[in-house]
Structure 1
Amino acid sequence: MGRIALAARLATRDFGHDWRIVLCQVLGLTAVLAPLLVLFGMRFGLIDTLAQRLIEDPRNREIVPAGSGRFDAAFFRDLAGQDGIAFIVPATRSIAASFTRLRKEDGGRPLSGVALLPSGPGDPLLAGNAPPAGDAVVLGRRLADSLGTAAGDRLTAEITRQRDGRIEAQRLTLTVSGITDAPIAPSDALLAPLDLLTATEDWRDGLGVGSRGWAGAPPPATDRVFARFRLYARSIYDVAAIEASLKERGVEVRTASADIAQMQLLDRNLGIAFWLIAGCGALGYLVSLAASLRAHVERKRRDLAMLRLIGLPTRSLVAFPVVQAVLIAVLGVALAGIVFQGAATALNAIFAGSLQPGERICRLLLAHFGIATAATILAALLSASWGGLLAARIQPSEGLRDV
């Protein structure tokens, strides 16, 4: 080990002595590695940005039934146990899930036709608000601005029905438990507990709602079925599987699977392009560095022969080009990293107008730099093996001829 360390020190000093040649080798490595880092940084940054936009927007994880159906409790139990589903809640008919009028309790301009969306724990549209319960509701930002209301305010809601030729109405007092900035559709809808929607639907169907004291016909003894549901996948990558499962059940749905597939296709195509370019660049660098190190050993043939003559073993001579290759790799990666940071900063500044806060069009993680460094050192060691084999064949007699 001591002689190998001696060879490493000699290689390092020789490295500094031939600094002009070393500089050319380091610049050559940088010229290959820096564009690869920028290319991979754009691939990772672009795909990561697109994926985050798709993931963070709950509309891309929503699975919407294409029409009305008849979904019983067994259907929802089976679906809730399916892998990949983050949130599911039954929903009543759209025509029944609305208020005829809605306004602030202390006055203000009333709004008509405000839709009700059933909500509950895990609803991504709550955006941090507590799930509504009882007579509490969560309003979307646009609806809250239209009503001029804030969290904690009270609202007066009215629903109507026509029964026996008469128009009947019921009024409810609701509490705004929160306001969400999530993209609610329709934008003038509010999030309410499911029992409020079922009570509204039953009363409009002419039935009585005993829990609220609303008169009407007695409810049927049969189990309740729902016309619709609200369903969100756990991830955008679970949407396709859930959509296929629902279609097997005969349920037609609308999803953002086309946009998700387009993003995945772009990721795959950019990955193929990157690895093709990276492979060509790495092969070119490997060949050029191997030729450079072999030429360096040829130049130092007499010096290496003298080292053999004074007793340096073969494996110590092999360490000579290997150490220099590692030094070239480390310096090349460091310089390529500096070039990448400058290019990434410029690219992110150019595309800043189309990016949201925290997004980058070109970025790499520390792990990526670690992998690039390890791969570069490995490539340098492979290149150094050619020079090492040549150094191992040098005989001490070659040094005596030149004395």
Structure 2
Amino acid sequence: MKLLASLALKDLLRERMQLLCNVAVLAGVLVPLLVLLGVKNGVYDALIGRLLSDPAALQIDTSGNQSFRAEDAEEVRGWPEAGFVTLKTRSLFDFVNVREVGGRGKRDAILVPSGTGDPTLDGRTLGPGEAILSAGLAEQLSLAAGAEIQVITQASDRPRQLALPLTVVAVLPPERLAGRAVLTDIAVLDLVEAFYDAYALPEYGIAQGRDMAERVADFEGMRVFARDLTLLAPLQTRIEQRFNIRTEARTAEVAGVLNLGRNLDLALVLTASVASIGLAAALVFGFWSEVARKRRVLATLALMGLPAASLWVFPVIQALACGLIGLAVSFGLFLGAARVAEALFAGGMPEGQRLVTLSLVEVGIICAGVLVFVTATALFAARAAARADPASVLREGAA
């Protein structure tokens, strides 16, 4: 077997023109497909990356004045499609003033209910009595992590304003949250709403008002995040059907990107299938003609004592060698084409994103697939080599 493999490789190197033709056929099919796959990956990854970098793409907000209880939020949290879930108070009471403890400057901002697990926080933790600020608000008040702030609100019918102390644990980058906002626990927003509803908050210096023990917590809406982009639409539909409400989400945009990915995959599969048919035909006839031309050589090897059934190794070894060389040439040309494409369209991609990308897993699958493909096509020729009668072949040559 080792001798036959050596003879097959030496014969392949001697027949350089046939080797070049097979390699050219492989490269002519593989390089365009590799470029198409790489561009598809680059463009799709850029679109998906843009959505994933914006946590609002996963967010679902209820619309209108609804009535939710803590039990409703717990129910939604138990759904497999749902990630982070928090209740929302009435939007009328979201606007507050923020200042640093001991500071003079203050800015108006929006209170946003949040907590550990909120995708907006990008993995940061947020506990009771803590706050995370948007970059815009932190910059205007010169605040950083560790600062002590007060969230201040006042009502015309209350004798005193409400000032809630919070500790800043982080400042979000601008791309995570725009504007002036304070992300904090829903309990803080609930206290603000209770203040506006004329309840007494003696621990914060508000002695006058109704007894908090009589208050029944009721919330205007929910802020829900899907676990991933593919679950956004099902989760939005489930929320609307369960609570008979309208919601707001970027479902259409997300669905458009996901559909684009599926359509690109389908187009690539169809293109690869058609190309594979042509490649298979070219390789089958190429290997078959090679075996036909070497019938006397193979017959001589059989008469020298090599089992006829082992002759199938001859075209298969040559096919694998062609496949390996073809892969090396194809990936070399692909890298060159990718650099040209990157140079031509570099300005059209987000920073840090490449136009043409292939993962190591994809490279491995492509290499394995090509080698299996050329081996399978060579087996058609190998069957003819193995079934040939050496004596009959030599007699035909002598005649």
Equivalent residue for 1:192?
Answer: 184
Matched, 1:5 2:2: yes
Equivalent residue for 1:129?
Answer: 124
Matched, 1:171 2:163: yes
Paired residues of 1:68 and 1:228 also in contact (CA < 8 A): yes
Aligned pair partner of 1:313 in 284, 292, 307 = 307
Aligned pair partner of 2:285 in 288, 291, 297 = 291
C-alpha spacing 1:401/1:253, structure 2 compared with 1 (3 Å): closer
Q: CA deviation at 1:353?
A: 2.2
Q: CA deviation at 1:282?
A: 0.9
Counterparts of 2:216 and 2:175 in 1: how far apart (Å)? 33
Q: CA deviation at 1:381?
A: 1.9
Counterparts of 1:220 and 1:184 in 2: how far apart (Å)? 38
Equivalent residue for 2:107?
Answer: 111
TM-score by length of 1: 0.91
Q: CA deviation at 1:109?
A: 3.7
Partner SS, residue 298 of structure 2? helix
CA deviation map 1:163-203 (0-9, x unaligned): 2xx76423344432221126566621111222221111111
Amino acid at match of 1:239: L
Aligned pair partner of 1:24 in 21, 37, 40 = 21
Equivalent residue for 1:218?
Answer: 211
Paired residues of 1:126 and 1:182 also in contact (CA < 8 A): no
Amino acid at match of 2:99: R
Paired residues of 1:49 and 1:359 also in contact (CA < 8 A): yes
CA deviation map 1:22-69 (0-9, x unaligned): 112112211111111111111222222222222232110010112221
Paired residues of 1:137 and 1:175 also in contact (CA < 8 A): yes
Matched, 1:233 2:226: yes
Partner SS, residue 222 of structure 2? strand
Paired residues of 1:115 and 1:186 also in contact (CA < 8 A): no
Amino acid at match of 2:118: D
Amino acid at match of 1:374: A
Partner SS, residue 152 of structure 2? strand
Counterparts of 1:185 and 1:147 in 2: how far apart (Å)? 16
Amino acid at match of 2:91: S
Q: How many correspondences in the alignment?
A: 395
Equivalent residue for 1:327?
Answer: 321
Q: Describe how 1:86-165 pairs up with structure 2 within 5 A.
A: 86-99=83-96, 101-112=97-108, 114-134=109-129, 136-163=130-157
TM-score by length of 2: 0.92
* Higher mean C-alpha deviation, range 238-247 or range 168-177: 168-177
Q: CA deviation at 1:376?
A: 1.3
Equivalent residue for 1:362?
Answer: 356
CA deviation map 1:360-383 (0-9, x unaligned): 221111111221122212221222
CA deviation map 1:184-225 (0-9, x unaligned): 666211112222211111111111124434221223635311
Counterparts of 1:360 and 1:342 in 2: how far apart (Å)? 14
C-alpha spacing 1:171/1:382, structure 2 compared with 1 (3 Å): closer
Matched, 1:387 2:384: no
Q: CA deviation at 1:400?
A: 4.9
Identity of aligned residues (%): 31
Counterparts of 2:394 and 2:176 in 1: how far apart (Å)? 83
Q: CA deviation at 1:357?
A: 4.2
Partner SS, residue 198 of structure 2? coil
Counterparts of 1:97 and 1:394 in 2: how far apart (Å)? 87
> Runs of 4+ in structure 1 displaced over 4 angstroms?
182-186, 400-403
Equivalent residue for 2:80?
Answer: 83
C-alpha spacing 1:185/1:345, structure 2 compared with 1 (3 Å): same
Q: Unpaired segments of 5 or more residues in structure 1? A: none
Paired residues of 1:321 and 1:388 also in contact (CA < 8 A): yes
Partner SS, residue 309 of structure 2? helix
C-alpha spacing 1:40/1:189, structure 2 compared with 1 (3 Å): same
Q: CA deviation at 1:335?
A: 1.0
Partner SS, residue 39 of structure 1? helix
Amino acid at match of 1:5: K
Q: CA deviation at 1:235?
A: 0.8
Partner SS, residue 69 of structure 1? coil
Partner SS, residue 351 of structure 1? helix
Q: Unpaired segments of 5 or more residues in structure 2? A: none
C-alpha spacing 1:210/1:82, structure 2 compared with 1 (3 Å): farther
Counterparts of 1:219 and 1:350 in 2: how far apart (Å)? 66
